[in-house]
Amino acid sequence: MKHIIIGTAGHVDHGKTTLVRAMTGVDTDRLKEEKERGISIELGFAPLTLPSGQRAGLVDVPGHERFIKHMLAGVAGIDLVLLVIAADEGVMPQTREHLDIVQLLNVKKGIVVITKKDLVEEDWLYLVEEEVREALKDTFLAEAPMIAVSAVTGEGLSELLHIIDRLVADVTEKAVDGKTRLPIDRVFSIAGFGTVVTGTLFSGQLKVGDPVEILPEGISTRVRTLQVHGHKVDRAVAGQRVAVNLASVETSELARGSVLLEPNYLSSSFRVDAHLELLRHLAAPLKNLARIRFHQGTKEALGRVVLLDRDELAPGESSYVQLVMEEPVVVARYDRFVIRSYSPMVTIGGGTVIDPNPPKRKRFREDVLRALATQEQGTPIELVNQHLLTTRPPIISVSLLTEKLGLQTEIIKNALRELVESGQAVLINVDGSEHAIHQQVLDNWWSEVQSLLANYHHEYPLRTGLPREELRSKKFGAVPAKTFNALLQFWEERGLVRATGRNVSLAGHQPAPQGKMAQALEHVLVRYRVGGFQPPDWSEMVQDCALSNSESEELLNYCLEQGLLVKVSEDTFFASTAIEEAKRKLTQFLKDHGAIQIGEVRDLLETSRRYVLPLMEYFDREKFTRRVGDKRVLLK
């Protein structure tokens, strides 16, 4: 299941919290009180189950909001925004500012929800919808679905959930394979546990016991326990809301805006090189060295903008800048950020981080500007690396990769060669065409397959392995069959799995009955071997050994798969030793006599007609014998 975070946005009192409560039953305003009394971990957060069964986390903008910085912290990392506009008031200043912010942060999808439908007449609603469309044109929500609802009458709510479902279906998931990063939005302590931090896992994953680093404080610690949606878990992945209990850290050492990271991933910095866009509708230009508030993830930092190629940036324009902070920030290449003016506090623009840790830059320098332009694009190696980490499905043919990145084949091939040599990528031949996959993705896949197979072997110790198709549909549904086969072959060649046309197992796995089943097997083999050409009925085995339906099925499958018993007809089984002996005797007889009648077979094997007929039909099917009139001859 995808991990999706949905956020609300919109003017105060337009009905965001009421809408969240109507959809989830959770009162996020009450959570705030609970938080103040230290009961609830999740501020403004409500789990939502969609009609399809897909779950999502809903983050509500905190109530009675005057400080957009809380909204910014909440919006960091959302996949889908619900822009809430009350039908009786229409578009208001905060509606526009929230819209600017989600747009600047590159939130890709959204739904416009007109609330309080019950308060207005049909004609009025129509006019408000017109006004909203007008306000949204030229924004990423221009074509977004719009729906009018009432939390009071319930009208429109179920349709809204279906629309959310539809949009969620094509949200691209966050990079679970990437490096671990969790922007911290709350720090508190729980008696007996110590320090807990919460946030939305922005990329990568976290496991209990993982060593982690917290910047900019520079604290090294360890994940003691993890919670997702109030439940203890061993592992959390990108896109999930997580509460992390940290070993030996004091709450006073941390604050909202700190970032929890896998060690040696990012560093903190007072300077950031960026591409900055100024909002179009501003009244005044941005002057060099203007004091601003920088917002990224859950962090707000004061700083100044150094315009690198001009003295003022006009509304609607963009340029390269160096942001010089008054306190360290922790950002990554390509991060989106928002800036607000120092006073009054309004959102004025935003952009993309190009260099998260640059030297001090001189202004009006051609070489600096050119270097930033190249860096903004990224080197081919970085581009390929990044693409391999984010493309879905995460294995891609070299030709498609070339096409997607719009670079020359040679350049892509060289970049891939370097990535392969440095252990970051792997090339796999899929039906004659070379495919690339990121090493982390492959490792991840392998550990999932490994644990899936180990569990299967544990659950079904008598089976050779997991049916190939089941593995494919469980883990590789998005991958073409040929690619799946190539992956299996790749692991098989490395001695990790054994794959037959039907089953896949861990390389060392041998099906082996234990305990009751081992005794039952022994009984079965003795009875069938002693029975010889007059084998017992399977139902007797079930009775003798008191087997349940599933035990009976498992044991019989095992005997057949291992070739201990041979299925001769729907309900007749012979020990394989008996089949071999019958073949020997028949071969001898037919060499001497050329052909044999059913009656003669019965006498030869000292058995009865009941067994002879299915046995000879089995031999015909197996192309050991052939029927000629009322006799059998050897086929070869």
Nearest to 85 by CA among 129, 45, 126: 129
Burial tier of 635 (Cβ tally within 10 Å: 0-12, 13-18, 19+): exposed
Residues 21-80, interacting with ligand GDP (CB under 6 A): 63
Tell whether residue 293 is a contact of ligand GDP (CB under 6 A): no
Cα 576-577-582 angle, rounded to 5 deg = 95
Stretch that binds ligand GDP, among 11-19, 66-74, 314-322, 433-441 (CB under 6 A): 11-19
User: Of 63 and 467, which CB lies nearer to Mg ion in the complex structure?
Assistant: 63
Closest distance to ligand GDP from the beta carbon of 207 (Å)? 36
Task: Give the CA distances from residue 625 to residues 107, 574, 595, 630, in Å, rounded to whole numbers and listed in that order.
Answer: 71, 18, 10, 13
Stretch that binds ligand GDP, among 8-16, 140-148, 250-258, 425-433 (CB under 6 A): 8-16
Task: Give the CA distances from residue 217 to residues 234, 261, 335, in Å, rounded to whole numbers and listed in that order.
Answer: 26, 12, 20
User: Of 12 and 512, which CB lies nearer to Mg ion in the complex structure?
Assistant: 12
* Element at 84 (helix H, strand E): strand 80-86
Residues 518-577, interacting with ligand GDP (CB under 6 A): none
Stretch that binds Mg ion, among 60-68, 130-138, 491-499, 622-630 (CB under 5 A): 60-68
Q: d(Cα 603, Cα 582) in Å, to the nearest integer?
A: 12
Q: How far apart are the first and last CA of the chain?
A: 56
Q: d(Cα 557, Cα 555) in Å, to the nearest integer?
A: 5
Among 9, 10, 15, 17, binds Mg ion (CB under 5 A): 17
Closest distance to Mg ion from the beta carbon of 17 (Å)? 3
Exposure class string for 269-279: b at 16+ Cβ within 10 A, else e: bbbbbbbbbbb
Stretch that binds ligand GDP, among 91-99, 148-156, 165-173, 399-407 (CB under 6 A): 148-156
Tell whether residue 116 is a contact of ligand GDP (CB under 6 A): yes
Burial tier of 175 (Cβ tally within 10 Å: 0-12, 13-18, 19+): buried
User: Of 16 and 295, which CB lies nearer to Mg ion in the complex structure?
Assistant: 16
Under 8 Å between Cβ of 82 and 48: no
Tell whether residue 198 is a contact of ligand GDP (CB under 6 A): no
Size of site (CB under 6 A) for ligand GDP: 15
Closest distance to Mg ion from the beta carbon of 72 (Å)? 16
107 binds, among ligand GDP, Mg ion, none (CB under 5 to 8 A by kind): none
* Element at 242 (helix H, strand E): strand 241-246
115 binds, among ligand GDP, Mg ion, none (CB under 5 to 8 A by kind): ligand GDP
Tell whether residue 30 is a contact of Mg ion (CB under 5 A): no
Q: d(Cα 9, Cα 45) in Å, to the nearest integer?
A: 14
Tell whether residue 12 is a contact of ligand GDP (CB under 6 A): yes
Token pair belonging to 610: 């009941």
Tell whether residue 14 is a contact of ligand GDP (CB under 6 A): yes
Which one-letter amino acid corresponds to residue 482?
A: K
Tell whether residue 63 is a contact of Mg ion (CB under 5 A): yes
Token pair belonging to 293: 């508030």
Closest distance to Mg ion from the beta carbon of 148 (Å)? 19
Cα 441-333-184 angle, rounded to 5 deg = 80
Q: d(Cα 520, Cα 514) in Å, to the nearest integer?
A: 10
Please give the residue whose beta carbon sits closest to Mg ion in the complex: 17
Q: Which residues contact residue 226 at a Cβ distance below 8 angstroms, ignoring those fewer than 6 apart?
A: 206, 207, 208, 232, 233, 234, 235, 236, 242, 243, 244, 245
Closest distance to ligand GDP from the beta carbon of 13 (Å)? 4
Stretch that binds Mg ion, among 11-19, 255-263, 361-369, 614-622 (CB under 5 A): 11-19
Closest distance to ligand GDP from the beta carbon of 257 (Å)? 24
Strands 299-307, 318-329: pairing kind:
antiparallel
Q: d(Cα 327, Cα 515) in Å, to the nearest integer?
A: 65
205 binds, among ligand GDP, Mg ion, none (CB under 5 to 8 A by kind): none
Closest distance to Mg ion from the beta carbon of 63 (Å)? 4
95 binds, among Mg ion, ligand GDP, none (CB under 5 to 8 A by kind): none
User: Of 5 and 149, which CB lies nearer to ligand GDP in the complex structure?
Assistant: 149
What is the DSSP track for 543-608? HHTT--HHHHHHHHHHHHHTTSEEEEETTEEEEHHHHHHHHHHHHHHHHHHS-EEHHHHHHHHT--
Tell whether residue 18 is a contact of Mg ion (CB under 5 A): no
Stretch that binds ligand GDP, among 10-18, 385-393, 412-420, 493-501 (CB under 6 A): 10-18
Strands (E), 356-407: 395-397
Closest distance to ligand GDP from the beta carbon of 116 (Å)? 4
Among 27, 34, 118, 561, binds ligand GDP (CB under 6 A): 118
Stretch that binds ligand GDP, among 35-43, 110-118, 186-194, 302-310 (CB under 6 A): 110-118
Q: d(Cα 378, Cα 392) in Å, to the nearest integer?
A: 21
Among 75, 82, 104, 151, binds ligand GDP (CB under 6 A): 151
User: Of 119 and 598, which CB lies nearer to ligand GDP in the complex structure?
Assistant: 119
Q: d(Cα 118, Cα 113) in Å, to the nearest integer?
A: 14
Stretch that binds ligand GDP, among 114-122, 287-295, 525-533, 570-578 (CB under 6 A): 114-122
User: Of 115 and 221, which CB lies nearer to ligand GDP in the complex structure?
Assistant: 115
* Element at 350 (helix H, strand E): strand 347-355
380 binds, among ligand GDP, Mg ion, none (CB under 5 to 8 A by kind): none
Among 94, 115, 200, 503, binds ligand GDP (CB under 6 A): 115
Q: d(Cα 272, Cα 584) in Å, to the nearest integer?
A: 84
Q: d(Cα 554, Cα 547) in Å, to the nearest integer?
A: 10
Stretch that binds ligand GDP, among 111-119, 263-271, 497-505, 616-624 (CB under 6 A): 111-119
Closest distance to ligand GDP from the beta carbon of 60 (Å)? 7
Q: Under the rule (CB under 6 A), what is the footprint of ligand GDP?
A: 12-18, 63, 115-116, 118-119, 150-152
Q: Under the rule (CB under 5 A), what is the footprint of Mg ion?
A: 16-17, 63
